[in-house]
Amino acid sequence: MSVYSSDSSSPGNGFSALYDRYATDVLRVSYYYLGNRQQAEDVTQEVFIKLLTAQPALIEGKEKAWLLKVALNKCRDIWKGSWYKRVVLGHPAFELFPAPEETDRIVEEQALAKAVNQLPPEFKEVILLYYYQGYSTSEIADLLQLAEGTVSSRLSRARSRLKAELKEE
Amino acid sequence: MNQLEHLREATDKALYGLVADRELKNRIEKEMLQRGSADRVPFFRRKLFPSLIAVSAALVLCLALLDSFRTEISLTQPQLTSISAGARKSDPAGPAGLSDRSAAIQIGEEIYQVMPEAPAAIEIRSSLGKIGDERILSSDYAPGTEVFLTSQDHIIAVRAEDGMVFLLHK
């Protein structure tokens, strides 16, 4: 019996519930990574299709980690595959989709989002998982199959880069 | 980096319009339906047919290999190694008292008569004989080989080209 079904009448841990809960996070992390909405949507689609086809036995509460892990793997593949496009034809501008109401910090927030997008993939991953998704360093290490020390080191170097980047602006 | 602590909030505002909406969900469901129908391709077309082709190809390959191997064997087979005894009558080194080999052949104390019906002898040559544990095929005999039948139903073959005698156990 399939645990995750595209049938909307399936129980709460089915595709529909997981999509409603986590798809936007998957989409935004993918967008941060790739800077391309179409590609980010494709990644999100592939992640949920994998969920439906592979039917992984996920521990409750760990579903998002699995979805993000699959998404980051797919982003990495696309990133590597698009080397020529990025390097020769240029990286597409990181488009923002701001909230309609303007706040005092809007410029600052947008600058931060752009700076995160500009980080190299290995730094971007840890920053997004730590600050955006709220995972601990040990959880990130588990998710990315890295040593915890490596995660801490990457976080520290990513912070330094962001600091320098945001100061310049 | 206090700003980073607010990355969630900043993202929610900066990427406010980037949401996984109903449209994307429908796209995924539609894609799943398409892939599902692709999975429903009859078993024989999806798995069995390609498997059968692969197995057949492997079988043909094996047969081809075996055939070439057999050819190798049959080419080397005529090198008979188990020679019981014998020589031409005219051969000075041959056994003493060898009678006219067109009628009989003597090996040691025993005299073997030529098989009276030559075609039958040829028939025998065409069938399988044995030297020790080795199977002998009719192709092992050179043309002109004379065949004798012993009283114990053994076959003696005298090769025409050199007069060598082979004792075959039927």
Residues 6+ apart with CB under 8 A from B78: B139, B140
| Section B21-25 average pLDDT | 93
B96 occurs within a structural domain: no
User: Do residues B68 and B116 share a domain?
Assistant: no
B50 occurs within a structural domain: yes
User: Do residues B18 and B58 share a domain?
Assistant: yes
Q: Which of A92, A70, A93, A68 has its CA nearest to residue A82?
A: A92
DSSP state at residue B138:
G
Burial class of B38 by CB neighbour count within 10 A (0 to 12, 13 to 18, 19+): exposed
B153 occurs within a structural domain: yes
CB-CB neighbors (< 8 A) of A131 in chain B = 4-5, 7-8
Burial class of A124 by CB neighbour count within 10 A (0 to 12, 13 to 18, 19+): buried
Amino acid A2: pLDDT:
55
Per the structure, the complete domain to which residue B72 belongs is given by 7-76
Q: Which of A147, A16, A83 has its CA nearest to residue B24?
A: A16
User: What digits encode the pLDDT tens for the residues B145-167?
Assistant: 676 766 666 677 776 667 777 66
Of all residues in chain A, the percent with pLDDT exceeding 90 is 58
Under 8 Å between Cβ of B155 and B138? no
Instruction: Give me the count of residues in chain B.
Output: 170
Of all residues in chain A, the percent with pLDDT exceeding 70 is 84
A162/B contact by beta carbon, under 8 A: yes
What is the tally of structural domains in chain B? Answer: 2
CATH 1.10.10.10 boundaries in chain A: 101-169
> Which of the two residues, B141 and B102, has the higher pLDDT score?
B141
CB-CB neighbors (< 8 A) of B11 in chain A = 28, 32, 113, 132
Q: Is A128 left (phi over 0), alpha (psi -120 to 50) or beta?
A: alpha
Please list, residue by residue across B116-128, b when 16 or more beta carbons sit within 10 angstroms of its beta carbon and e when fewer do.
eeeeebeebbeee
B57 occurs within a structural domain: yes
User: Which residue do the tokens 């390097």 mark?
Assistant: A87
User: Do residues B13 and B62 share a domain?
Assistant: yes
Residues 6+ apart with CB under 8 A from B18: A24, A27, A28, A31, A37, A40, A97
Domain A1-95 has CATH 1.20.1330: no
Integer angstrom CA distances of residue A68 from A25, A116, A164: 8, 17, 28
- How far is the alpha carbon of A71 from chain B, nearest alpha carbon, in Å? 14
Q: Which CATH architecture describes the domain A101-169?
A: Orthogonal Bundle (1.10)
Partner residue opposite B11 with nearest CB, options A44, A53, A132: A132
- Choose the final residue of a domain: B76, B92, B120: B76
| Section B79-93 average pLDDT | 38
CATH 1.10.1740 boundaries in chain A: 1-95
- Mean of per-residue pLDDT scores for chain B: 65
User: Do residues B14 and B72 share a domain?
Assistant: yes
B93 occurs within a structural domain: no
Asked if residue A120 has pLDDT above 80, the reply is yes
Amino acid A18: pLDDT:
92
* Weakest mean pLDDT among A82-86, A87-91, A104-108: A87-91
Task: Decide if B15 and A28 are in contact by the 8 Å CB cutoff.
Answer: yes
Between A and B, how many CB-CB pairs are < 8 A? 103
- The ipTM, to two decimals, is 0.83
Quick one: how far is CA A91 from the chain centroid?
A: 18
B92 occurs within a structural domain: no
CB-CB neighbors (< 8 A) of B17 in chain A = 97-99
- Mean of per-residue pLDDT scores for chain A: 86
B82 occurs within a structural domain: no
* Weakest mean pLDDT among A89-93, B69-73, B120-124: B120-124
